[in-house]
């Protein structure tokens, strides 16, 4: 496997070059993701670590306190990060991390939001479905097969919803894009740190 460019150095270099040529950064869409559960480190690096690094490194270019316009980070997450998903354990875990990161980092100076699409038809979908290493363990193969038998939505509809979410710019919000419908996620609070103001 080629070296993954998700570390701080490579991400920082890419962000610096982009922002130098654009002179600003209004919107960052974190949309890079892989589905390869047996490749645990690659899945976590691409789906979570790269996203975190891109967000942290890009934030100063969007932060009002740094003489920038208030920018928006939009993370493309997944419905498999909202609930446990036995058929895609590693991918699901990485996507849960994206949800927590998004909820934890919404600040007044840089808005952050996320879309959690259901299974979406992309160009690589036929190739993904034929991969022998898509499942975490061999005994999970039937669960993977059942997972991909569900309804599949179009990428264009998901893109339309992403634009809608960016235009709303609702800081800290998560949206489910399921069967071509958009709805707000209402997270349940299980615990709060007393005496700590967020």
C-alpha to C-alpha distance for 87 and 128, rounded to whole angstroms:
14
Q: What angle do CA 116, 118, 121 make, to 5 degrees?
A: 120
pLDDT, average across residues 12-30: 81
DSSP string, 146-187: HHTTS--EEHHHHHHHHHHHHHH--TT-EEEEETTEEEE--P
C-alpha to C-alpha distance for 185 and 87, rounded to whole angstroms:
22
pLDDT, average across residues 25-40: 85
pLDDT, average across residues 43-51: 92
Note the pLDDT of residue 126.
Answer: 47
pLDDT bracket for residue 171 (50, 70, 90): confident
Burial readout 163-188 (b: 16 or more C-beta within 10 A, e: otherwise): eebbeeeebebbbbbeeeebeebeee
Give percent above pLDDT 90 in the chain: 19
Say if CB 151 and CB 179 are below 8 A apart: yes
C-alpha to C-alpha distance for 186 and 34, rounded to whole angstroms:
26
Domains of the chain: 8-179 (3.40.50.720)
Report the predicted TM-score, pTM, of the whole model to 2 decimal places.
Answer: 0.79
Q: pLDDT for 90-99, tens place per residue?
A: 989 999 999 9
pLDDT bracket for residue 74 (50, 70, 90): very high
C-alpha to C-alpha distance for 182 and 148, rounded to whole angstroms:
21
pLDDT, average across residues 176-182: 84
User: What are the residue ranges of helices labelled H in 37-194?
Assistant: 40-44, 50-62, 89-105, 125-130, 141-147, 155-168
- pLDDT at residue 52 above 90? yes
Note the pLDDT of residue 96.
Answer: 94
Token couple for 73: 């980070």
C-alpha to C-alpha distance for 155 and 124, rounded to whole angstroms:
12
Q: pLDDT for 119-162, tens place per residue?
A: 776 655 544 555 555 556 665 666 666 666 667 777 888 889 99
Q: pLDDT for 104-123, tens place per residue?
A: 887 677 888 999 888 776 65
- pLDDT at residue 85 above 50? yes
In terms of DSSP bridges, do strands 120-121 and 181-184 run parallel, antiparallel, or are they unpaired? unpaired
Say if CB 103 and CB 187 are below 8 A apart: yes
Strand partners, 30: 75
Say if CB 104 and CB 64 are below 8 A apart: no
C-alpha to C-alpha distance for 27 and 113, rounded to whole angstroms:
11
- pLDDT at residue 58 above 70? yes
Give the residue with greater pLDDT, 25 vs 55: 55
Give the residue with greater pLDDT, 148 vs 53: 53
């Amino acid at each position: 496997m080629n070296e993954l460019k998700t570390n701080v150095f490579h991400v920082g270099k890419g962000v610096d070059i982009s922002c130098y040529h654009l002179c600003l950064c209004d919107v960052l869409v974190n949309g890079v993701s892989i589905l390869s559960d047996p490749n645990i480190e690659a899945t976590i690096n691409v789906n979570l670590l790269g996203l975190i690094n891109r967000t942290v490194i890009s934030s100063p270019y969007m932060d009002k306190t740094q003489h920038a316009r208030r920018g928006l980070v939009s993370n493309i997450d997944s419905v498999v990060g909202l609930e446990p998903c036995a058929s895609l354990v590693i991918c699901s875990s990485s996507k849960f991390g994206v949800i927590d990161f998004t909820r934890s980092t919404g600040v007044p100076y840089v808005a952050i939001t996320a879309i959690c699409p259901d299974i979406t038809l992309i160009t690589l979908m036929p190739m993904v479905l034929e991969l022998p290493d898509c499942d975490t363990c061999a005994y999970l193969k039937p669960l993977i097969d059942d997972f991909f038998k569900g309804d599949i939505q179009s990428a264009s509809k998901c893109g339309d919803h992403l634009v809608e979410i960016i235009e709303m710019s609702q800081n800290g919000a998560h949206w489910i894009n399921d069967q071509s419908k958009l709805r707000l996620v209402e997270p349940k609070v299980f615990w709060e740190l007393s005496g700590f103001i967020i």
